[in-house]
């Protein structure tokens, strides 16, 4: 059988392994950690369980389709529920909003409690849908790096409608024009952070993101986000994929005949040969560490990185009914928060605090009368800040904010604590500067400035994951594996092996 090697068992690496196995390849994944999942991992204490990274799950169809591709029934491996409530929002002036998945209900609540109207909400989400319709096939589901994508009818249609994607003003400008009440503009500005960007710089095209939640739905896997990883690992293993943990790959080997051609990888000083190699590493580290003597595409690698995060995993004594699964405690001055992250490269003194409590739905995630709080703020990517000092200040500012908004003292209820910061994100997942989503989308050309999913110089070398096209986040990382699958250039010699 022809052999494929995947470097890294992040979500896109696992998806690539499944796709290659279903194509008939003999597949091995080499992973430097002792566990799969990369950013999509979990943290366990004796009594609490936390999803370490992602907590928002959209577009489950991209997970389901991997089971279907392998001829399996998804629900035999992986179950999830559609959420009735998307998020609870809290403002410093006392305003509280509950974003129901029932759009009419949410729009009515906005009209009843703010200066914005239900009509504004529906006009905004209509625009969000239009942007999705124009962009998804071209920018998300296909490679942008092959001529064939551009001679497609859908692409031509999209080019004709390019004016509708709102690429020439910032997201915050657009949202202030949609909503009379700045607090509602702020609520929708937050969607820029779903791919680590700044709403005061990023194009209004990012207003496509709410369409994923309000139209396709927000979901929660019944056994937690980490079960996305474990169920796909199970599927891969059932298809014969071999996982090698604690095996950091040191080099990608290629032979220099008439055309550069993949030869395999070096791991533990041994050459392991392969017909196809797919790197799931952050593209920056793929070039820096694994293709050391190969000329790197400097312009693509020097793009601004997405933001990072500071997360406190808190085991909390007591039940807090005012909080739901997803909660946001907004900064009073949102612009100042983003200036602080993006211009001053530091943590803002009054950060927007995201609290995710999976035990609201998954009872085993916390003991009785306790909750598991995943408390996250957006912070700049790592450029050598004095994180220990910044983290201590941020912890106190977060607790003060919780006390102001929730009207409760929280510090004394914390019975378990672990912390993840840009340095540890970089160390644990080899994400350059600890960026959560690869490059930022702070400019109109960001989609074109991500690395392609294949090497145009080394035959049969491919790239998947959040740092390459089409971008970061679980759905897009899964799509990167799909794009490789659809553009796999299987040489005749390998096709002949399949035929035999
Ligand atoms: P990664 O997760 O980056 O994994 C890469 C893997 O490669 C790692 O396992 C690493 O150990 C391995 N590796 C590195 N070097 C080597 C080597 N030399 N040899 C072998 N293996 C190696 N996305 C969402 O959709 N929703 C969210 O709510 C969300 N929230 C997030 C919150 C946090 C705190 C974080 C960190 C991320 C969040 N994301 C979210 C982003 C999402 O997690 C990522 O976009 C996605 O998981 C990236 O997957 P990936 O395939 O690029 O691989």
Distance 467 CA to ligand 1 centre (A): 9
Report whether residue 438 contacts ligand 1, using a CB cutoff of 6 Å: no
pLDDT bracket for residue 292 (50, 70, 90): confident
Report whether residue 463 contacts ligand 1, using a CB cutoff of 6 Å: no
pLDDT in tens, 116-162: 999 999 999 999 999 999 888 777 787 777 777 767 777 777 777 77
173 Cβ contact list (under 8 Å, min separation 6)? 204
| Atom 17, ligand 1: residue with shortest CA distance | 248
Distance 474 CA to ligand 1 centre (A): 9
Instruction: Please give the pLDDT value at position 142.
Output: 77
Instruction: Please give the pLDDT value at position 83.
Output: 98
Distance 411 CA to ligand 1 centre (A): 30
Instruction: Please give the pLDDT value at position 148.
Output: 74
* Lowest pLDDT segment from 51-60, 143-152, 252-261, 436-445: 143-152
CA distance 248 to 30: 7
CATH architecture, domain defined by 3-41+55-81+223-303+441-499: 3-Layer(bba) Sandwich (3.50)
CA distance 45 to 369: 16
Average pLDDT over residues 183-209: 97
| Atom 33, ligand 1: residue with shortest CA distance | 53
Distance 127 CA to ligand 1 centre (A): 31
| Atom 11, ligand 1: residue with shortest CA distance | 429
Report whether residue 405 contacts ligand 1, using a CB cutoff of 6 Å: no
Instruction: Please give the pLDDT value at position 399.
Output: 98
The mean of the pLDDT values for the chain is 94
Distance 248 CA to ligand 1 centre (A): 15
Distance 11 CA to ligand 1 centre (A): 7
Distance 153 CA to ligand 1 centre (A): 34
| Atom 44, ligand 1: residue with shortest CA distance | 473
Residue 36: CB atoms within 10 A of its CB come to 23
pLDDT bracket for residue 108 (50, 70, 90): very high
3-state secondary structure the chain: CCEEEEECCEHHHHHHHHHHHHCCCEEEEECCCCCCECCCCEEECCCCEEECCCCCECCCHHHHHHHHHCCCCHHHCCCEEECCEEEEEECCCCCEEEEECCHHHHHHHHHHHCCCCHHHHHHHHHHHHHHHHHHHHHHHCCCCCCHHHHCCHHHHHHHHCHHHHCCCCEHHHHHHHHCCCHHHHHHHHHHHHHHCCCCCCCEHHHHHHHHHHHHHCCEEECCCCHHHHHHHHHHHHHCCCEEECCCCEEEEEEEECCCEEEEEEEECCEEEECCEEEECCCHHHHHHHHCCCCCCCHHHHCCCECCEEEEEEEEEECCCCCCCCEEEECCCCHHHHHHHHHCCCCCCCCCCEEEECHHHCCHHHCCCCEEEEEEEEEECCCCCCCHHHHHHHHHHHHHHHHHHHHCCCCHHHEEEEEEECHHHHHHHHCCHHHCCCCECCCCCCHHHHCECCECCCCECEEECCCCECCCCCHHHHHHHHHHHHHHCCCCHHHHHHHHC
Ranges 142-146, 197-201, 487-491, most confident: 197-201
pLDDT surpasses 90 at 194: yes
Percent of the chain at pLDDT exceeding 70: 98
pLDDT surpasses 80 at 257: no
pLDDT bracket for residue 413 (50, 70, 90): very high
Q: Which atom of ligand 1 sits closest to the CA of residue 474?
A: 25
pLDDT in tens, 353-376: 999 999 999 999 999 999 999 999
Angle between helices 61-69 and 474-487 (to 10 degrees): 40
Report whether residue 54 contacts ligand 1, using a CB cutoff of 6 Å: yes
Q: Which atom of ligand 1 sits closest to the CA of residue 431?
A: 3
Q: Domains of the chain: which residue ranges? A: 3-41+55-81+223-303+441-499, 104-194
pLDDT bracket for residue 498 (50, 70, 90): low
Q: Which atom of ligand 1 sits closest to the CA of residue 376?
A: 34
pLDDT surpasses 70 at 491: no
Whether 32 and 247 have beta carbons less than 8 Å apart is answered as: yes
Report whether residue 10 contacts ligand 1, using a CB cutoff of 6 Å: yes
Instruction: Please give the pLDDT value at position 163.
Output: 81
Instruction: Please give the pLDDT value at position 499.
Output: 61
Report whether residue 466 contacts ligand 1, using a CB cutoff of 6 Å: yes
Report whether residue 434 contacts ligand 1, using a CB cutoff of 6 Å: no
pLDDT surpasses 70 at 500: no
Instruction: Please give the pLDDT value at position 300.
Output: 86
Report whether residue 473 contacts ligand 1, using a CB cutoff of 6 Å: yes
Report whether residue 422 contacts ligand 1, using a CB cutoff of 6 Å: no
Instruction: Please give the pLDDT value at position 135.
Output: 86
Instruction: Please give the pLDDT value at position 363.
Output: 97
| Atom 42, ligand 1: residue with shortest CA distance | 473
| Atom 36, ligand 1: residue with shortest CA distance | 53
CA distance 463 to 278: 5
């Amino acid at each position: 059988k022809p052999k494929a090697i995947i470097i890294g068992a992040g979500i896109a690496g696992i998806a690539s392994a499944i796709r290659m196995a279903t194509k008939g390849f003999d597949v091995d994944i080499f992973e430097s950690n002792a566990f799969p999942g990369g950013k999509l991992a979990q943290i366990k204490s004796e009594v609490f369980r936390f999803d370490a990274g992602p907590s928002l799950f959209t577009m489950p169809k991209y997970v389901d389709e991997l089971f279907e591709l392998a001829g399996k029934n998804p629900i035999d491996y992986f179950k999830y529920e559609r959420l009735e409530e998307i998020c609870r929002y809290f403002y410093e002036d006392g305003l509280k909003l509950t974003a129901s998945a029932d759009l009419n209900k949410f729009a009515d609540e906005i009209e009843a409690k703010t200066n914005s109207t239900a009509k504004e909400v529906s006009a905004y989400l209509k625009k969000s849908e239009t942007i999705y319709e124009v962009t998804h096939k071209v920018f998300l589901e296909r490679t942008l790096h092959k001529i064939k994508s551009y001679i497609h009818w859908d692409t031509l249609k999209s080019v004709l409608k390019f004016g509708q994607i709102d690429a020439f003003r910032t997201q915050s400008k657009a949202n202030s024009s949609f909503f009379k009440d700045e607090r509602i503009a702020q609520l929708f500005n937050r969607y820029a952070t779903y791919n680590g960007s700044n709403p005061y710089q990023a194009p209004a095209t990012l207003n496509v993101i709410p369409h994923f939640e309000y139209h396709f739905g927000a979901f929660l896997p019944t056994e937690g986000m980490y079960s996305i990883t474990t169920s796909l690992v199970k599927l891969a293993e059932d298809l014969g994929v071999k996982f090698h943990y604690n095996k950091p790959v040191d080099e990608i080997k290629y032979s220099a005949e008439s055309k550069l051609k993949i030869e395999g990888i070096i791991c533990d000083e041994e050459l392991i040969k392969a017909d196809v190699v797919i790197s799931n590493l952050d593209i920056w580290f793929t070039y820096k560490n694994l293709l050391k003597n190969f000329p790197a595409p400097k312009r693509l690698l020097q793009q601004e990185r997405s933001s990072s995060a500071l997360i406190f995993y808190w085991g909390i004594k007591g039940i807090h009914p005012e909080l739901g699964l997803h909660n946001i405690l907004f900064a009073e001055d949102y612009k100042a928060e983003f200036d602080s992250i993006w211009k001053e490269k530091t943590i803002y003194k009054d950060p927007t605090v995201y609290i995710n409590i999976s035990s609201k739905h998954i009872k085993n995630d916390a003991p009785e009368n306790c909750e598991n709080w995943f408390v996250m703020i957006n912070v700049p990517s790592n450029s050598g800040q004095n994180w220990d000092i910044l983290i201590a200040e941020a912890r106190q500012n977060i607790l003060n904010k919780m006390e102001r908004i929730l009207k409760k003292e929280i510090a004394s209820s914390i019975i378990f604590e672990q912390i993840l910061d840009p340095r540890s994100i970089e160390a644990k997942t080899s994400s350059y500067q600890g960026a959560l989503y690869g490059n930022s989308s702070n400019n109109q050309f960001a989609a074109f400035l991500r690395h392609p999913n294949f090497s145009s110089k080394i035959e049969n070398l491919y790239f998947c994951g959040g740092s390459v096209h089409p971008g970061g986040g679980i759905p897009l990382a899964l799509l990167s594996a799909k794009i490789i699958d659809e553009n796999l250039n299987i040489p005749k010699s390998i096709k002949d092996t399949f035929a035999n």
